[in-house]
Amino acid sequence: MDLSSPSNQSSTSKWNLFLFPITFKRIFVSAITIFILMFVSFYVIFNLTMSSFNAQFLFRFGFLSQILPTNQETPLQVCDYSYGKWVRDESYPLRSYSESCPFLDPGFRCRQNGRKDDEYLKWRWQPHSCDLPRFNATDLLERSRNGRIVYAGDSIGRNQWESLICMLARAVPNQSDIYEEKGKPITKHKGFLSMRFREYNLTVEYYRAPFLVVIGRPPQNSPHKIRTTVRVDELHWFSEKWVGADVLIFNAGHWWNEDKTVKMGCYFQEGGQVNMSMNVMEAFQRSLQTVRSWVIKNLDPERSHTFFRSYSPVHFRNGTWNKGGLCDKEREPETNYSRLEDEPANNQLISKVIKQMKNESRKVQFLNITYLTEFRKDSHPSLHREPGTAADAPQDCSHWCLPGVPDTWNELLYAYLLNMGFKTK
C-alpha cells in the first residue's frame, strides 16, 4: 500500500524531471572526456609506432638518453640537435660555398675530381624538436674577434676544419685577408696549419694528432713484436700550442681500433711500462682522462669552450677499406634503418668524460654527429680522389666531399656556441 500522498508523488516526479537533464549532461561530458583520452592515446601510440625515428632511436640509440649530458638551464639548451632527419632542400647549395674556395684540399673537391652529380649537396639536417640556427659567418667572426678556434685530431677533423674556413670565408670580401700564417700550402701532411683572418685578428687552426696522446718508440728491451706504443697518459706535444684557445674541438676515433694498433704492433704504454693486456677501448678511456686532466689544468674555465666531436661513420660496402670496399654508387642518404650501424662504444666513453668536466664547471659540449652522419653514405669522395691517385687505390669512404656533411657539423658547433653565449673578450 502506497502511503505517499498525491502531493508528495507530484513533487517527486517534478524533482526527477528536473534532475534528468543534469544527469544526462554529466554522462555526456564523461563520455566525451573518455573519447578524447582514447583518441589522444591512440594518436600517441600511432606516432610512436609509425615514426621510423622513434622506433630506431629506441632500438639503437635509446641508451643515449641515459648517458648524454642534458642541460635545461635555458630554453635554447632543451633541443638536441643531434637527432632528426635529412630534408631535401633545393636551395641549400645556394647558401653554401663552392669547390672554388681556395682553402680546400684537392682530395675533398669531389666534382672537380670527376663526380658528375650534385645531389649530395641538396640535403639539409632538420632536428626533430627544433630548428637548427642558420649559420651566420659574420656573426661568428665577430664573436671570435681576437680569438683562436682550434681543431685537434685525425684527418676527419681536418675535413671539418677546412669546412669552417670556407664557411667563414664567405663573409670576407677580400680573400687575400685570409692566409696561412707560415705560408704553408693546404695539403694533407703531418703537422699543423693556422689560417689567419686578418680583419678579425682570428686564427682557425688544425693540429694533426690522430690519438690526441703521444705515439712513439717503445721502451728499451721491449719484445720484438712491439713496434710502437701509444702513451695513454701523455698528451701530444702539440698540446702546448692549444693553451689559450677560445674554442677547442677534439676528435679521435678512426685510429682507435685493433687494425691500426695491436695488429700493426702498436701497443699501449703508461709511464715506462707497456701493458700488452690493455684493450683498445680501455686505452681510449685512459687517453680521454689524460685530455680531461690537461683541460682542467691548462685552459681558462671562463674563456675556453671545449668540444669533443663524436665518431664519424664510414660507409664501405662489400668489403673493408683495404679489401675492395666501395661507396661510389650511392646517390642519396640511407633510408633503410636496419642498415644503420650501432652507436660506437667511443661515444659512451666520451659522454662520461663530458659529464665529469661539466661537474668541474667547464664550458664543454659533446658534439654528437654520429647519428646524422650515419645516413650520409652518398657524400664521400669514393673514387673521386685527388689528382694523381693511382687507379687501383682504395676508394675513400671515410672522408667527406666539401662542401658537404662537415658543414652540418659546423652548423651544430655554431648552434652550441650560441647556446653557451660564446664571445671573445
Which stretches within 237-376 are classed as H helix?
239-242, 280-298, 345-359, 370-374
Q: Determine the distance from the C-alpha atom of residue 412 to the mean position of all C-alpha atoms in its chain, rounded to a whole number.
A: 7
Cα–Cα dist 82/369, whole Å? 6
Cα pseudo-dihedral 413, 109, 317, 282, rounded to 10:
-40
Cα–Cα dist 160/175, whole Å? 20
155 is catalytic: yes
Cα–Cα dist 280/278, whole Å? 7
398 is catalytic: no
Residue 122 grid cell: 641538396
Identify the bridge partners of residue 248 per DSSP, sorted by sequence position: 150, 306
Catalytic residue among 82, 144, 154, 155: 155
98 is catalytic: no
Catalytic residue among 236, 396, 398, 407: 396
Catalytic residue among 254, 315, 380, 399: 399
CB 146, CB 202: distance < 8 Å: yes
Which stretches within 254-322 are classed as H helix?
280-298
Residue 175: CB atoms within 10 Å: 12
Residue 224 grid cell: 720484438
Name the E strands within 113-236.
123-127, 148-153, 178-180, 192-197, 202-208, 213-216, 228-235
DSSP state of 246: S
Catalytic site residues? 155, 396, 399
